[in-house]
């Protein structure tokens, strides 16, 4: 547990020095592919959020979901690819192949669905190859192109914005 705090400290220092402002890419005309980054610690209604996105005209197979969790439970199966601080090595590199693929994938839209700043989530958002990034206004303003001022529980408001 203590080692995770040290790892998180190194990650925060890395982000402080390497986070960059996002530039708006003007080539996006319609959104077809969505990357959804969810913090499971504060939001458990993943299916309702996905249903809301699908109701707005996005096909389910065009949505790629990855979930962050603070607590790992042994012998539990997760319904979506899940990662945590244990998937970060001491060189601040991501060891989980699923997360690395998610970062490299060029989504039309990345939805950073977390309103509590966590260093690992900020790293994934910052390094994502998505063309347009959306998140909550309570998170670092340099990470996203569009910030929505609501809380995590109001997923319908977030999706409609």
Gap between the Cα atoms of 144 and 113, Å rounded: 11
Q: Which domain holds residue 66?
A: 2-160
Read off the pTM: 0.84
Print pLDDT tens along the chain (161 aa).
566 667 766 666 666 666 665 555 556 678 899 999 999 988 889 999 999 999 988 999 999 999 999 887 777 788 899 998 888 888 888 999 999 999 999 999 999 999 898 888 989 998 999 999 999 988 888 888 889 998 888 888 888 87
Q: Cα(18)–Cα(41) distance, rounded to whole angstroms?
A: 26
Beta bridge partners of 112: 37, 135
CATH number at residue 39: 3.40.50
> What is the tally of structural domains in the chain?
1
């Amino acid at each position: 547990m203590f080692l995770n705090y040290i790892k998180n400290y190194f990650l925060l220092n890395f982000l402080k020095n390497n986070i960059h402002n996002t530039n708006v890419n003007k080539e996006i005309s319609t959104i077809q592919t969505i990357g959804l980054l969810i913090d499971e610690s504060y939001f458990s209604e993943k299916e309702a959020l996905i249903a809301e996105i699908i109701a707005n005209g996005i096909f389910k197979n065009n949505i790629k979901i990855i979930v962050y969790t603070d607590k790992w439970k042994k012998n539990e199966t997760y319904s979506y690819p899940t990662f945590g601080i244990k998937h970060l090595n001491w060189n601040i590199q991501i060891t989980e192949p699923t997360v690395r693929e998610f970062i490299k994938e060029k989504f039309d839209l990345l939805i950073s669905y977390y309103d509590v700043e966590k260093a690992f989530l900020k790293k994934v958002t910052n390094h994502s190859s998505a063309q347009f990034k959306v998140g909550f206004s309570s998170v670092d303003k340099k990470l996203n192109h569009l910030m929505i001022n609501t809380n995590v529980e109001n997923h319908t408001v977030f999706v409609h914005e």
